[in-house]
Amino acid sequence: MTLSEQEAALLVALQRGIPICERPFEVLAKEQGLAEDDVLAFIRQRLTDGDARRFGAVFDARRLGYRSALCAMRVPTGELSRIAAVVGAEPGVTHCYERKPTLQPERPCPNLWFTLAAPAPIFNQTLDALRAACAPVAIDELPAVQRFKIDVVFDLRTRNRDERVEPRNKTDLNARLVESVNERQQAIVRLMQGNIPLAGRLFEAPATQLGLSEAELIEQLKSWQERGVLRRIALLLRHREIGFTANGMCCWEVPAEQIQEAGRRVAAFPEVTHCYERPPTDYFPFRLYAMVHTPSAEKTRALYERITRDAGLVPGELLLSSMEFKKTSMQFF
Protein backbone atom coordinates (compact mmCIF):
# COMPACT_ATOMS: atom_id res chain seq x y z
CA MET A 1 0.00 0.00 0.00
CA THR A 2 1.41 3.37 -1.06
CA LEU A 3 -0.01 6.52 0.54
CA SER A 4 0.72 10.21 0.42
CA GLU A 5 2.09 11.94 3.52
CA GLN A 6 -1.38 13.26 4.32
CA GLU A 7 -3.00 9.84 3.86
CA ALA A 8 -0.36 8.19 6.06
CA ALA A 9 -1.02 10.76 8.79
CA LEU A 10 -4.76 10.09 8.49
CA LEU A 11 -4.17 6.35 8.78
CA VAL A 12 -2.30 6.86 12.06
CA ALA A 13 -5.05 9.13 13.40
CA LEU A 14 -7.74 6.57 12.54
CA GLN A 15 -5.86 3.86 14.42
CA ARG A 16 -5.46 6.04 17.49
CA GLY A 17 -9.20 6.45 17.64
CA ILE A 18 -11.89 8.87 16.58
CA PRO A 19 -13.51 11.42 18.91
CA ILE A 20 -16.80 10.26 20.36
CA CYS A 21 -19.27 12.93 19.26
CA GLU A 22 -22.12 13.42 16.77
CA ARG A 23 -19.89 13.88 13.71
CA PRO A 24 -16.51 12.33 14.59
CA PHE A 25 -15.24 12.20 11.00
CA GLU A 26 -15.94 15.89 10.51
CA VAL A 27 -13.84 16.70 13.58
CA LEU A 28 -11.06 14.40 12.44
CA ALA A 29 -11.19 15.77 8.90
CA LYS A 30 -10.70 19.34 10.11
CA GLU A 31 -7.68 18.25 12.15
CA GLN A 32 -6.18 16.63 9.04
CA GLY A 33 -7.05 19.42 6.59
CA LEU A 34 -9.55 17.23 4.73
CA ALA A 35 -13.28 17.02 4.06
CA GLU A 36 -15.50 14.63 5.99
CA ASP A 37 -16.35 12.70 2.81
CA ASP A 38 -12.63 12.24 2.09
CA VAL A 39 -12.12 10.56 5.45
CA LEU A 40 -15.11 8.26 4.98
CA ALA A 41 -13.98 7.31 1.47
CA PHE A 42 -10.47 6.58 2.77
CA ILE A 43 -11.78 4.20 5.44
CA ARG A 44 -14.07 2.43 2.97
CA GLN A 45 -11.13 1.93 0.59
CA ARG A 46 -8.94 0.40 3.31
CA LEU A 47 -11.72 -2.05 4.19
CA THR A 48 -12.44 -2.87 0.54
CA ASP A 49 -8.76 -3.45 -0.25
CA GLY A 50 -8.33 -5.72 2.77
CA ASP A 51 -5.75 -3.45 4.41
CA ALA A 52 -8.03 -3.18 7.45
CA ARG A 53 -9.86 -5.87 9.41
CA ARG A 54 -12.65 -3.67 10.72
CA PHE A 55 -13.70 -0.25 11.91
CA GLY A 56 -15.19 -0.55 15.36
CA ALA A 57 -14.75 -0.45 19.11
CA VAL A 58 -11.86 -1.96 21.05
CA PHE A 59 -12.82 -2.89 24.61
CA ASP A 60 -10.70 -3.85 27.60
CA ALA A 61 -11.47 -7.52 28.23
CA ARG A 62 -10.67 -7.47 31.93
CA ARG A 63 -12.91 -4.48 32.54
CA LEU A 64 -15.77 -6.47 31.01
CA GLY A 65 -15.18 -9.42 33.34
CA TYR A 66 -13.13 -11.56 30.97
CA ARG A 67 -9.88 -13.32 31.73
CA SER A 68 -7.24 -13.87 29.08
CA ALA A 69 -3.87 -15.55 28.85
CA LEU A 70 -1.12 -16.35 26.42
CA CYS A 71 -0.76 -20.11 26.05
CA ALA A 72 2.12 -22.14 24.66
CA MET A 73 2.50 -25.72 23.41
CA ARG A 74 5.33 -27.96 22.24
CA VAL A 75 3.65 -29.82 19.40
CA PRO A 76 5.32 -32.57 17.33
CA THR A 77 5.87 -31.26 13.81
CA GLY A 78 3.59 -33.84 12.22
CA GLU A 79 0.74 -32.88 14.58
CA LEU A 80 1.03 -29.12 14.28
CA SER A 81 -1.74 -28.50 11.73
CA ARG A 82 -4.18 -30.84 13.50
CA ILE A 83 -3.59 -29.34 16.95
CA ALA A 84 -3.73 -25.81 15.57
CA ALA A 85 -7.13 -26.61 14.04
CA VAL A 86 -8.40 -27.90 17.40
CA VAL A 87 -7.13 -24.79 19.17
CA GLY A 88 -8.50 -22.45 16.50
CA ALA A 89 -11.96 -24.00 16.72
CA GLU A 90 -12.34 -22.60 20.25
CA PRO A 91 -14.22 -19.25 19.89
CA GLY A 92 -12.23 -17.71 22.73
CA VAL A 93 -8.96 -18.16 20.83
CA THR A 94 -8.26 -14.94 18.95
CA HIS A 95 -4.64 -15.43 17.82
CA CYS A 96 -2.82 -18.67 17.01
CA TYR A 97 0.69 -18.79 15.53
CA GLU A 98 3.54 -21.17 14.89
CA ARG A 99 6.72 -19.52 16.19
CA LYS A 100 10.31 -20.68 15.80
CA PRO A 101 13.43 -19.74 17.81
CA THR A 102 16.07 -17.89 15.80
CA LEU A 103 18.96 -17.37 18.23
CA GLN A 104 19.26 -20.98 19.40
CA PRO A 105 17.30 -23.08 16.86
CA GLU A 106 17.82 -26.26 18.88
CA ARG A 107 16.35 -24.77 22.05
CA PRO A 108 13.26 -26.74 23.26
CA CYS A 109 10.86 -23.82 22.77
CA PRO A 110 7.10 -23.92 22.44
CA ASN A 111 6.19 -23.85 18.75
CA LEU A 112 2.43 -23.16 18.95
CA TRP A 113 1.31 -19.98 20.70
CA PHE A 114 -2.24 -18.73 21.15
CA THR A 115 -4.28 -16.28 23.19
CA LEU A 116 -7.40 -17.46 24.99
CA ALA A 117 -10.08 -15.22 26.51
CA ALA A 118 -13.30 -16.22 28.26
CA PRO A 119 -15.61 -14.89 30.99
CA ALA A 120 -13.58 -15.09 34.19
CA PRO A 121 -15.90 -17.59 35.97
CA ILE A 122 -15.52 -20.15 33.16
CA PHE A 123 -11.96 -19.45 31.99
CA ASN A 124 -10.45 -22.44 33.77
CA GLN A 125 -13.23 -24.69 32.51
CA THR A 126 -12.64 -23.49 28.95
CA LEU A 127 -8.89 -24.04 29.18
CA ASP A 128 -9.36 -27.50 30.75
CA ALA A 129 -11.66 -28.50 27.88
CA LEU A 130 -9.04 -27.36 25.39
CA ARG A 131 -6.35 -29.29 27.24
CA ALA A 132 -8.48 -32.43 27.07
CA ALA A 133 -9.06 -31.95 23.33
CA CYS A 134 -5.31 -31.52 22.69
CA ALA A 135 -4.07 -34.32 24.97
CA PRO A 136 -1.49 -35.70 25.28
CA VAL A 137 0.13 -32.44 24.10
CA ALA A 138 0.28 -30.14 27.12
CA ILE A 139 -0.77 -26.49 27.25
CA ASP A 140 1.21 -24.05 29.40
CA GLU A 141 -0.69 -20.99 30.58
CA LEU A 142 1.41 -17.81 30.64
CA PRO A 143 -0.87 -15.04 31.95
CA ALA A 144 0.31 -11.46 32.17
CA VAL A 145 1.66 -10.66 35.62
CA GLN A 146 2.29 -7.03 34.70
CA ARG A 147 1.51 -5.12 31.53
CA PHE A 148 4.01 -2.46 30.56
CA LYS A 149 2.68 -1.52 27.12
CA ILE A 150 -0.19 -2.23 24.72
CA ASP A 151 -2.07 -0.56 21.81
CA VAL A 152 -0.69 -0.86 18.31
CA VAL A 153 -0.57 1.97 15.79
CA PHE A 154 1.07 1.24 12.43
CA ASP A 155 2.73 4.13 10.62
CA LEU A 156 3.61 3.46 6.98
CA ARG A 157 5.96 6.43 6.99
CA THR A 158 8.23 4.52 9.38
CA ARG A 159 7.45 1.00 8.16
CA ASN A 160 11.05 0.22 7.25
CA ARG A 161 12.21 1.31 10.69
CA ASP A 162 9.61 0.35 13.23
CA GLU A 163 5.97 0.05 14.27
CA ARG A 164 4.77 3.10 16.15
CA VAL A 165 2.71 2.72 19.27
CA GLU A 166 0.65 4.96 21.49
CA PRO A 167 2.54 5.35 24.79
CA ARG A 168 1.01 3.77 27.85
CA ASN A 169 2.25 3.62 31.42
CA LYS A 170 2.67 0.28 33.14
CA THR A 171 -0.57 -1.02 34.60
CA ASP A 172 -0.89 -3.53 37.41
CA LEU A 173 -3.50 -5.88 35.97
CA ASN A 174 -4.50 -7.22 39.37
CA ALA A 175 -5.59 -3.75 40.49
CA ARG A 176 -8.00 -3.16 37.65
CA LEU A 177 -11.71 -3.01 38.47
CA VAL A 178 -14.30 -5.08 36.64
CA GLU A 179 -17.17 -3.04 35.26
CA SER A 180 -20.76 -4.03 36.08
CA VAL A 181 -22.46 -4.40 32.69
CA ASN A 182 -26.23 -4.81 32.42
CA GLU A 183 -28.11 -6.39 29.51
CA ARG A 184 -28.58 -3.11 27.65
CA GLN A 185 -24.89 -2.33 27.97
CA GLN A 186 -23.98 -5.82 26.78
CA ALA A 187 -26.08 -5.17 23.68
CA ILE A 188 -24.07 -1.99 23.06
CA VAL A 189 -20.81 -3.93 23.31
CA ARG A 190 -22.06 -6.65 20.97
CA LEU A 191 -23.04 -4.10 18.34
CA MET A 192 -20.04 -1.78 18.57
CA GLN A 193 -17.37 -4.50 18.65
CA GLY A 194 -18.07 -5.41 15.03
CA ASN A 195 -17.85 -3.32 11.88
CA ILE A 196 -19.77 -0.12 12.55
CA PRO A 197 -21.58 1.09 9.39
CA LEU A 198 -19.82 4.23 8.19
CA ALA A 199 -21.80 7.47 8.13
CA GLY A 200 -21.22 11.10 8.99
CA ARG A 201 -23.31 10.69 12.13
CA LEU A 202 -21.64 7.42 13.07
CA PHE A 203 -23.66 6.69 16.19
CA GLU A 204 -27.13 7.56 14.90
CA ALA A 205 -27.97 4.22 13.22
CA PRO A 206 -26.47 2.02 16.00
CA ALA A 207 -28.42 4.01 18.61
CA THR A 208 -31.67 3.47 16.71
CA GLN A 209 -30.93 -0.25 16.42
CA LEU A 210 -30.35 -0.39 20.18
CA GLY A 211 -33.50 1.56 21.02
CA LEU A 212 -31.49 4.49 22.37
CA SER A 213 -31.15 8.11 21.43
CA GLU A 214 -27.94 9.15 19.72
CA ALA A 215 -27.07 11.27 22.78
CA GLU A 216 -27.58 8.30 25.14
CA LEU A 217 -25.24 6.07 23.15
CA ILE A 218 -22.57 8.76 22.91
CA GLU A 219 -22.83 9.43 26.65
CA GLN A 220 -22.38 5.72 27.45
CA LEU A 221 -19.37 5.36 25.15
CA LYS A 222 -17.74 8.48 26.57
CA SER A 223 -18.27 7.21 30.11
CA TRP A 224 -16.69 3.86 29.25
CA GLN A 225 -13.76 5.55 27.57
CA GLU A 226 -13.11 7.70 30.65
CA ARG A 227 -13.10 4.59 32.87
CA GLY A 228 -10.94 2.48 30.55
CA VAL A 229 -13.68 0.05 29.53
CA LEU A 230 -13.59 1.35 25.96
CA ARG A 231 -10.03 1.76 24.73
CA ARG A 232 -10.92 3.38 21.41
CA ILE A 233 -13.15 3.29 18.33
CA ALA A 234 -10.73 2.93 15.49
CA LEU A 235 -9.57 1.39 12.24
CA LEU A 236 -7.84 -1.94 12.86
CA LEU A 237 -5.30 -2.85 10.19
CA ARG A 238 -4.00 -6.17 8.86
CA HIS A 239 -0.31 -5.61 9.58
CA ARG A 240 0.96 -8.18 7.09
CA GLU A 241 -1.04 -6.68 4.24
CA ILE A 242 0.45 -3.23 4.78
CA GLY A 243 4.05 -4.41 4.88
CA PHE A 244 4.78 -5.34 8.52
CA THR A 245 5.30 -8.99 7.60
CA ALA A 246 7.77 -10.16 10.26
CA ASN A 247 6.18 -10.74 13.66
CA GLY A 248 8.68 -11.35 16.45
CA MET A 249 8.24 -12.36 20.09
CA CYS A 250 11.22 -11.12 22.10
CA CYS A 251 11.96 -12.94 25.35
CA TRP A 252 14.48 -12.18 28.10
CA GLU A 253 15.38 -13.87 31.39
CA VAL A 254 15.16 -11.15 34.04
CA PRO A 255 15.36 -11.58 37.84
CA ALA A 256 12.03 -10.89 39.53
CA GLU A 257 13.42 -7.95 41.51
CA GLN A 258 14.56 -6.25 38.28
CA ILE A 259 11.46 -6.87 36.16
CA GLN A 260 9.75 -3.51 36.64
CA GLU A 261 12.76 -1.44 35.62
CA ALA A 262 13.58 -3.78 32.72
CA GLY A 263 9.96 -3.73 31.55
CA ARG A 264 9.87 0.06 31.57
CA ARG A 265 13.10 0.26 29.57
CA VAL A 266 11.85 -2.14 26.90
CA ALA A 267 8.40 -0.51 26.73
CA ALA A 268 10.07 2.84 26.06
CA PHE A 269 11.22 1.66 22.64
CA PRO A 270 8.74 2.97 20.04
CA GLU A 271 9.20 -0.24 18.03
CA VAL A 272 7.73 -2.36 20.86
CA THR A 273 3.97 -2.83 20.54
CA HIS A 274 3.26 -5.01 23.58
CA CYS A 275 5.38 -5.64 26.67
CA TYR A 276 4.50 -7.97 29.55
CA GLU A 277 5.89 -9.82 32.52
CA ARG A 278 4.88 -13.50 32.34
CA PRO A 279 5.70 -16.46 34.60
CA PRO A 280 8.73 -18.53 33.52
CA THR A 281 8.45 -22.29 33.02
CA ASP A 282 10.98 -25.05 33.68
CA TYR A 283 11.92 -25.32 30.01
CA PHE A 284 11.27 -21.71 28.96
CA PRO A 285 12.80 -19.51 31.70
CA PHE A 286 11.91 -16.10 30.30
CA ARG A 287 9.98 -13.53 32.30
CA LEU A 288 9.96 -10.44 30.06
CA TYR A 289 8.10 -10.57 26.71
CA ALA A 290 7.82 -7.93 24.00
CA MET A 291 6.32 -7.94 20.51
CA VAL A 292 7.80 -6.18 17.48
CA HIS A 293 6.88 -6.08 13.78
CA THR A 294 9.13 -5.15 10.85
CA PRO A 295 9.17 -5.80 7.08
CA SER A 296 11.63 -8.72 7.31
CA ALA A 297 13.14 -11.37 9.57
CA GLU A 298 16.54 -9.74 9.24
CA LYS A 299 15.21 -6.38 10.42
CA THR A 300 13.39 -8.06 13.29
CA ARG A 301 16.54 -9.80 14.49
CA ALA A 302 18.56 -6.57 14.21
CA LEU A 303 15.87 -4.77 16.20
CA TYR A 304 15.88 -7.48 18.88
CA GLU A 305 19.65 -7.19 19.21
CA ARG A 306 19.47 -3.40 19.50
CA ILE A 307 16.75 -3.49 22.17
CA THR A 308 18.69 -6.14 24.11
CA ARG A 309 21.87 -4.07 23.98
CA ASP A 310 20.37 -0.64 24.65
CA ALA A 311 18.10 -1.88 27.45
CA GLY A 312 21.04 -3.60 29.15
CA LEU A 313 19.53 -7.09 28.99
CA VAL A 314 21.12 -10.50 28.72
CA PRO A 315 20.32 -12.06 25.30
CA GLY A 316 17.40 -14.45 25.54
CA GLU A 317 15.38 -15.71 22.58
CA LEU A 318 13.60 -14.29 19.56
CA LEU A 319 10.72 -16.33 18.17
CA LEU A 320 9.55 -15.44 14.68
CA SER A 321 6.02 -16.24 13.56
CA SER A 322 6.25 -18.67 10.67
CA MET A 323 2.56 -19.54 10.28
CA GLU A 324 -0.61 -17.65 11.19
CA PHE A 325 -3.39 -20.13 11.93
CA LYS A 326 -5.93 -17.66 13.33
CA LYS A 327 -6.28 -13.94 13.98
CA THR A 328 -9.63 -12.43 14.93
CA SER A 329 -11.03 -9.79 17.25
CA MET A 330 -12.47 -10.81 20.60
CA GLN A 331 -16.26 -11.22 20.67
CA PHE A 332 -17.80 -10.33 24.03
CA PHE A 333 -21.13 -11.54 25.39
| SS3 of residue 196 by DSSP | coil
Q: Is 136 helix (H, G, I), strand (E, B) or coil?
A: coil
The string over 87-116, giving b where at least 16 C-beta atoms fall within 10 Å of a residue's C-beta and e elsewhere, is: bbebebbbbbbbbebbeeeeeebbbbbbbb
- Choosing from 95, 239, 274, 293, the catalytic residue is 95
Which ranges in the chain belong to alpha helices (H)?
5-16, 24-32, 36-49, 80-88, 123-134, 183-192, 204-210, 214-227, 259-267, 297-310
CB distance 26 to 33 below 8 Å: no
Query: Quick one: which of 177, 189, 315, 168 has its CA closest to 253?
Result: 315
95 given a catalytic annotation: yes
* Cα angle, residue 291 at apex, residues 290 and 296 outer, rounded to 5°: 135
Q: Would you tell me how many other CB atoms lie within 10 Å of the CB of residue 258?
A: 13
According to DSSP, the β-strands at 317-327 and 93-101 are antiparallel
The C-alpha atoms of residue 122 and residue 144 are separated, in whole angstroms, by 18
Sequence length of the chain is: 333
Mention every residue, 6+ apart, whose C-beta is less than 8 A from residue 152: 15, 163, 165, 239, 273, 274
Residue 69: CB partners within 8 Å, gap ≥ 6? 115, 116, 123, 127, 141, 142, 143, 144
Angle at the Cα of 278 from the Cα atoms of 272 and 279, rounded to 5 degrees: 155
Which residues are designated catalytic?
95
